[in-house]
A and B are shown apart, each in its own frame.
Chain A
Amino acid sequence: MKLFEKSAADLSAMLQNKECSAVELTQDVLAQIDAAEPKVGAYVTRCEDCFEQAKAIDKARLAGEELHPLAGIPIGIKDNISTKGIRTTCSSHMLDNYIPPFDASVLQPVRKAGMIITGKMNMDEFAMGSSTETSYFHQTHNPHNLECVPGGSSGGSAAAVAAGEAILTLGSDTGGSIRQPASLCGVVGLKPTYGSVSRYGLVAFASSLDQIGPLGKSVKDVAMLQSLIQGHDNMDATSAYRSYPNLLDKLDGNVQGLRIGVPKEYFGAGIDKCVKEAVYNSIQMLEKNGAIVKEISLPSTDYAINTYYIIASAEASSNLARFDGVRYGYRTDSYDSLTEMYEKTRSEGFGDEVKRRIMLGTFVLSSGFYDAYYKKAKLVQRRIAQEFSAAFQECDVIITPTSPSPAFRIGENIGDPLKMYYNDVCTVTVNIAGLPAISVPCGKSSDGLPLGMQLIGNKFAEQTILNAAYGYEQLVGGFQVIPEAFCTGGANA
């Protein structure tokens, strides 16, 4: 087994026991990137200084310095998270040449821990999409079937983990953008509680819903990275004041007595039969091992997609007003007036999906429509949150499918925005209510495509959902994340 196939937890132990060096591990991952990237296309930008980063870690370890367990582990960063000195494009023509003069707050612990930053991951433009097809640069392919999408918007982050092109990655999740690609690529992805990871330096899409989170090969890997990046930050006014214990300390996988709520609304007509069966089977497995399963109801789920697209687009229309061709980013070549410069810059710099969302947001906030759309959506948001809150009185975790279907073919849904939006039907409520949720692999479709199960927790109950997910992972004997074609001697897909 090559090093890139191993989990971060195993590699961490190997590095600490000097069974391998950071340089060797980096070399292995970079070789895998060279082999897999022409087929997968997970990266927008690759970092040139990986070896220098790795050499510094090895030197520090040899000198006997006390290092973080994640020191020397290669990590890819979604391209909407600001990285000082490293191009950050949001996969948009608008930010083609943008090099941030500062690091996002999450990058500080990542750099301090000595993780090796391999590069910036492809995504849907400004995180608007569920297939990574709206990227300005190139398509990312699903390592399990190269003709299929990796999901989105953190498609590059998920595909890279699945192809062994990074050991861990960071993504961002506004309506499912970590969990849905994790599900479609067969990896583990955590959307943390709103406020538990700083958003400072994350290019804003919908500020009240956006959250940065980790993707990896196992629940333990994701718990390690989440423990590193969580915490209060003065630079983010919505950052939560509380203590954040290390999530590995109590990761025992014990599901005895765990109360699981199964909301019937998430298993309706729009969900593929293979997805429902896989999730029900997994729930049964947990029940056989001591969990208590109860059917629950979250009646406002029916309005979730509508509510989400109103709130998210309204915030996007305001957040993306900053891209005007004045201070940074793209500016059109020829113009006679300031208004013409704005209009031409934005029309040439943004793709069609971004324009659609900006216009939808402008529409729902415009005079005469605000009460009918935005205000009503905010009220439904409160009701959805209240229903979750009531449900968590009688259960510890809520289990649902992550995505209504396995990965679909590239080009299949891109022409129909409504079909594309429906991909988020099981995930948007979590963002609307500000809750944490994790997606773990739970079997495969008849075509061999990964399926995902979502475990939702109460606010700041990351430990509970990680424990339940870890328990499940142990029951199934671990997750086989990297498809055979990309394993040792592979990249033959």
Chain B
Amino acid sequence: MKIDIAHIAKLSRLRIESDKMEKFETDMSAIVDMVDRLPEMAEELALDVENPMHLRTDEAQDHKFRRDEMLSNAPEVQSGCLVVPKTVE
């Protein structure tokens, strides 16, 4: 199957350099052809009733992190806030 790499890349928020486009197209087509081979299944997906999920009570808890700790890995910070490009004119 031929895959529209440019479209999938856009959905994935990725850019593929033009010199790599052909290799990505070939590889992705081969991979999709491989995973395509699955049996027809009549069943439907259902919740696993034998192993139900344990949900914890919805209680607010004080977190242990300091603001400066959480921001220490951010690429750009100003006055204790994350900086991102302008999104609203």
A: residues with CB less than 8 A from B are 97-99, 101-102, 234, 237, 241, 300, 303, 305-307, 309-310, 317, 321, 324-331, 335-344, 346-347, 350, 352, 355-356, 358-360, 362-364, 366, 373, 375-380, 382-383, 417-418, 421
Of the candidates B12, B45, B56, B84, which one forms a contact with A359 in the assembled complex, judged by CB atoms under 8 Å apart? Answer: B12
Complex Cα–Cα for A339 and B13 (A): 8
Say what secondary structure dominates the interface of chain B.
loop
CB distance from B3 to the nearest CB of A (A): 7
- Find out whether the CB atom of B27 lies under 8 angstroms from the CB atom of A377: no
- Find out whether the CB atom of A234 lies under 8 angstroms from the CB atom of B45: no
- Find out whether the CB atom of B31 lies under 8 angstroms from the CB atom of A309: yes
- Residue of B28, B65, B84 with highest tally of chain A CB at under 10 A: B84
Complex Cα–Cα for A229 and B17 (A): 43
Complex Cα–Cα for A420 and B75 (A): 34
CB distance from B43 to the nearest CB of A (A): 6
- Find out whether the CB atom of B45 lies under 8 angstroms from the CB atom of A378: yes
Q: Given that A309-B35, A347-B15, A362-B12 are contacting pairs, would A325 and B75 also be in contact in the complex, using a CB cutoff of 8 Å?
A: yes
- Find out whether the CB atom of B72 lies under 8 angstroms from the CB atom of A342: no
CB distance from A126 to the nearest CB of B (A): 14
Task: Give 11 pairs: A residue, B residue, CB < 8 Å, sorted on A.
Answer: A303-B38, A303-B39, A306-B35, A309-B34, A325-B75, A328-B73, A335-B85, A343-B15, A360-B31, A362-B12, A383-B41
- Find out whether the CB atom of A101 lies under 8 angstroms from the CB atom of B72: yes
Q: State which residues 18-39 of B face A: CB under 8 Å.
A: 20, 24, 27-28, 30-32, 34-39
- Find out whether the CB atom of A101 lies under 8 angstroms from the CB atom of B70: yes
B interface bracket (residues with beta carbon within 8 Å of A): 35 or more
- Find out whether the CB atom of A362 lies under 8 angstroms from the CB atom of B11: yes
Complex Cα–Cα for A328 and B24 (A): 28
- Find out whether the CB atom of B14 lies under 8 angstroms from the CB atom of A336: no
Q: Given that A101-B65, A359-B12, A379-B41 are contacting pairs, would A326 and B32 also be in contact in the complex, using a CB cutoff of 8 Å?
A: no
Query: Which A residues are CB-close (under 8 A) to B34?
Result: 305-306, 309, 418, 421
Q: State which residues 59-85 of B face A: CB under 8 Å.
A: 65, 69-70, 72-76, 82, 84-85
Complex Cα–Cα for A28 and B38 (A): 52
Of the candidates A300, A358, A373, which one forms a contact with B35 in the assembled complex, judged by CB atoms under 8 Å apart? Answer: A373
Query: Which A residues are CB-close (under 8 A) to B11?
Result: 362, 366
Query: Which A residues are CB-close (under 8 A) to B20?
Result: 352
- Find out whether the CB atom of B12 lies under 8 angstroms from the CB atom of A317: yes
Query: Which B residues are CB-close (under 8 A) to A360?
Result: 28, 31-32, 35
CB distance from A340 to the nearest CB of B (A): 8
Complex Cα–Cα for A382 and B15 (A): 35
Complex Cα–Cα for A263 and B2 (A): 36
